[in-house]
Structure 1
Amino acid sequence: MVFQQPRLSADPRLRLTGLIAEPLRATGRRAEVPDRVAELAATLGLTPDLLTRRPHEVSDGQLQRACLARALVLRPRRLICDETTAMLDASTSAALVAAVEDHRRTTGASLLAVGHDRTLLQRWCDRTVHWDGTGKDVSAR
């Protein structure tokens, strides 16, 4: 899962390396940490100096990149993105979108994306549903 607000989903005590590696450590796959973290960091544009910083020492975009890396570190078959690119600049949004698309292409993973950006949702998703607030599906593709 990748949340809209990375600061609320990141442990402020962890450095970005630890944040990304957390799922590997939790599942007993510590040996994979160095290679997998380096691979995802490179893919998402996180430089080695950024990986040594804590969440409060990086920008929202850099932290969201780390949170996406954390979500991808176990190569999930299902990915949930809740307004993942909200509040990010265009270049950071493009990098995150590309990383999700690459993950889906290489793994065949499914994606449930929640958002207001219809263009992005139509690009990412095979099917989109628009809700008008009344609980009725007013348009689907």
Structure 2
Amino acid sequence: MLRAREITVRYGRRAVLDGVSFDVTPGQVLGLGGPSGCGKSTLARVLALMLRPAAGSLSVDGAQVRGWRQRAPRDLRTRVALLYQQPRSAVDPKLRLSEIIAEPAYATGRAGVDVSALAGEVGLTADLLGRRPHEVSDGQLQRACLARALSLEPGYLICDEMTTMLDASTQAHLVAVVNAYRDRTGAGVLAISHDEVLLERWADARAELTGAGSRPATPSPSPALRSRS
């Protein structure tokens, strides 16, 4: 379980998050909604061990997180993957898509990552793998970023507005890929979005950030049917 307790983040004197607590359960999708500026992306960075909070605690499968970024143990860092809202700001523009997908494996010294299989899983054709970010669409680049996020088979996947500004068919495909990965591995998913329709169709439970520094509502089961296709 990915467990956050009383997470507080401040920028100067301003509290962006104030005492946020919730769990991301293996095998389930937790939807996190809220208006722009309420701290959703900041929370995503904390959960991905990229931003140390001012207060609070985080644990991954019972292991307490005591360091963030490169100070976090590698096995904890690779247990949580983050998929960003803006793929172009999340990649090195000089790398080809094949290199973007393989980047985590190279960074962690792992061998044997099947780039072609990952590309096929997310719907990228072989001819796209040799292209650089400026040569592909936003949807194609986000598919590569999803393949990169899944390359080390994380136990938890944080999707931070991953479908924003993408067409409906690409949105549906990305959600289907995440669902298939969750079903196959038992991973927990945090789906962050301001799209209420998307969250109601996708999430098993819901939490809400209602404003900057606010605490989310207690996660509750979603009454809506979820698409698994």
Fold in common (TM above 0.5): yes
2:149 counterpart (45, 52, 71): 71
* Pairwise CA distance, 1:138: 5.8
- Any stretches of 5+ residues in structure 2 without a counterpart? 1-81, 221-229
Aligned pairs, number: 138
Higher relative contact order (CA 8 A, sep 6+): 2
**Helix, strand or coil for the counterpart of 1:20?**
helix
- Any stretches of 5+ residues in structure 1 without a counterpart? none
Runs of 4+ residues over 3 Å off in structure 1: 136-140
Aligned equivalents of 2:197 and 2:183: distance in 1?
Answer: 19
Which residue type is aligned with residue 3 of structure 1? Y
Aligned equivalents of 2:157 and 2:219: distance in 1?
Answer: 21
Aligned equivalents of 2:199 and 2:118: distance in 1?
Answer: 23
Q: CA RMSD in A?
A: 1.6
* Pairwise CA distance, 1:140: 4.8
Greater CA deviation, 112-121 or 125-134?
A: 125-134
1:115 counterpart (193, 210, 215): 193
* Pairwise CA distance, 1:121: 1.9
Which protein has the larger Cα radius of gyration, Structure 1 or Structure 2? 2
Identity %: 58
Q: Which has the higher helix share?
A: 1
* Pairwise CA distance, 1:118: 2.0
Name the TM-score, length of structure 2 as normaliser: 0.57
For the pair 1:28 / 2:28, whether they are aligned, the reply is no
**Helix, strand or coil for the counterpart of 1:88?**
coil
* Pairwise CA distance, 1:131: 2.8
* Pairwise CA distance, 1:29: 1.8
Q: Which has the higher strand share?
A: 2
